[in-house]
Structure 1
Amino acid sequence: MSKPSPAPPPKLLVEERQRQIVELARAEGRVTVEGLVERYGISAVSIRRDLEYLEQVGSLKRSHGGAVPAASSQLDVPLPIKETRRLPEKRRIGEAAARMIADGETIILDSGSTTVEIARQIRQRKWKSLTVITNALNIALELSGLPSVRVMMLGGMLRQTSYSLAGPDAEQALSRLTADRLFLGVDGLDPAVGVTTPDPQEASLNMLMIKVSREVVAVLDATKLGQRSLSVIAPVRSLHVVITDTSASKVHADAIRKQGVELVLV
């Protein structure tokens, strides 16, 4: 009696598959088209399309028959891939952050895969009046069409990996504004170094966001704790609140609290 053929691998969202391909390349040093076809049960054409996209956004460098990690892949992961990581945690962080917002406030939503969850929570609530300043195209689109929410978009140069705007034009527009609260998305929070991001222009804009805001709330999942990215935004003591998930280590939690910052674990 012949054995039944193995069940095909489960279907993944394109972004989930691309995230896994990047992580596999980093772990093993390379990936091959043949190996990925066997792993995911899809055509070589689809895999090559994935590798082409990942090379365009700087996550991989294509080679004959496959791809290797790009030198910059540790620095700036494309937003669609970031959004598939630790999604339940980011949703809880977004819910906790949105509860801090009061009717009539002006807030800044920085770009990022966690801050977009705050925007999605804002959509679920009824507001008499709310003003949201953002440098993120996807956040502006998320909040479009809400009659009681006024969205102010900063100008500047588009960063394709994060759907964000940065640069002198964005800083000039922001310098004329003030906000009650900033929700800051970061790629790393090292208690000794500060909060960091891969892009120097975005770091400069984030510094100004902190300056024009009465309260600064950093939102990040616990995998970012202890991590450092290329550009320092500000020391941890510049923050008022850090919202992260309950997997945060006691060492990191204590180090944040020692700097006088309120830590919220969700």
Structure 2
Amino acid sequence: MPSPSSAANEEDEHGHFRPLAELALGRMTADKLFLSAEGLVAGRGLCEADVDQAALKAKMIGQATEIFVLANSLKLGFSGHHAWTPLDRPWTLIKDRGAGSAHLDPFRALPDVNVLVTETVLR
């Protein structure tokens, strides 16, 4: 069975898998959700190129107990697209060592964000 995320990506080609992905996600829960995005802006959320991806990620976030966002330094502060998924509950940012405090301070200032820095470079 395809994952809900892969089913949503196939919608662009076939046009009928996104409803299946949303239905499947509505019937599942997750203890921990790990996701990334095209960009991540403190206080605004995940920036995506596509509203369908933003909607699917919102559904995934709603079904998860804990949220972890993986982002390299290039994604922090990027807002070059127009579809957004808000992060309006506690979550953890996992980022590589490439970003300095100028990139991290806006996230550290948010009360619901925990910032973890890894030694592994994220791509």
TM-score bucket (shorter structure) = 0.7 to 0.9
Q: Structure 1 residue 193: deviation in Å?
A: 2.4
Corresponding residue to 1:171 among 19, 22, 36: 22
Letter in 1 for 2:82: L
Contact 2:4 2:24 in 1 (8 A): no
Contact 1:166 1:201 in 2 (8 A): no
Partner of 2:58: 207
Higher RCO (C-alpha under 8 Å, 6+ residues apart): 2
Paired-residue identity, %: 28
Partner of 1:251: 102
Partner of 1:265: 117
Contact 1:217 1:239 in 2 (8 A): no
Partner of 1:58: none
1:196 counterpart = 2:52: no
Q: What RMSD in Å do the two structures reach over aligned CA positions?
A: 2.3
Deviation per residue, 1:184-221 (Å, 9 max, x gap): 11110111422111111111010010000000000111
Output the TM-score relative to the length of structure 2: 0.78
| Alpha-carbon distance between aligned partners in 2 of 1:239 and 1:252, rounded to the nearest angstrom | 19
Q: Structure 1 residue 156: deviation in Å?
A: 4.2
Q: Structure 1 residues 136, 210: closer, same or farther in 2, change over 3 A?
A: closer
Contact 2:69 2:94 in 1 (8 A): yes
Consecutive unaligned residues in structure 1, runs of 5 or more: 1-132, 138-154
| Alpha-carbon distance between aligned partners in 2 of 1:171 and 1:185, rounded to the nearest angstrom | 18
Partner of 1:135: 4
Q: Structure 1 residue 168: deviation in Å?
A: 2.1
Q: Structure 1 residues 210, 233: closer, same or farther in 2, change over 3 A?
A: same
Deviation per residue, 1:38-71 (Å, 9 max, x gap): xxxxxxxxxxxxxxxxxxxxxxxxxxxxxxxxxx
Partner of 1:233: 85
Contact 2:72 2:95 in 1 (8 A): yes
| Alpha-carbon distance between aligned partners in 1 of 2:100 and 2:44, rounded to the nearest angstrom | 18
Q: Structure 1 residue 259: deviation in Å?
A: 1.1
Rg larger in structure: 1
Q: Structure 1 residue 252: deviation in Å?
A: 2.4
SS of the residue corresponding to residue 10 of structure 2 reads strand
| Alpha-carbon distance between aligned partners in 2 of 1:222 and 1:134, rounded to the nearest angstrom | 28
Q: Structure 1 residues 134, 244: closer, same or farther in 2, change over 3 A?
A: farther
Query: Higher strand share goes to which structure?
Result: 2
Output the TM-score relative to the length of structure 1: 0.38
Consecutive unaligned residues in structure 2, runs of 5 or more: 119-123
Query: Higher helix share goes to which structure?
Result: 1
Q: How does 1:58-77 map to 2 (within 5 A)?
A: none
SS of the residue corresponding to residue 256 of structure 1 reads helix
**Following superposition, which runs of at least 4 residues in structure 1 exceed 3 angstroms of deviation?**
133-137
Contact 2:41 2:76 in 1 (8 A): yes
Q: Structure 1 residues 242, 176: closer, same or farther in 2, change over 3 A?
A: same
| Alpha-carbon distance between aligned partners in 1 of 2:17 and 2:51, rounded to the nearest angstrom | 9
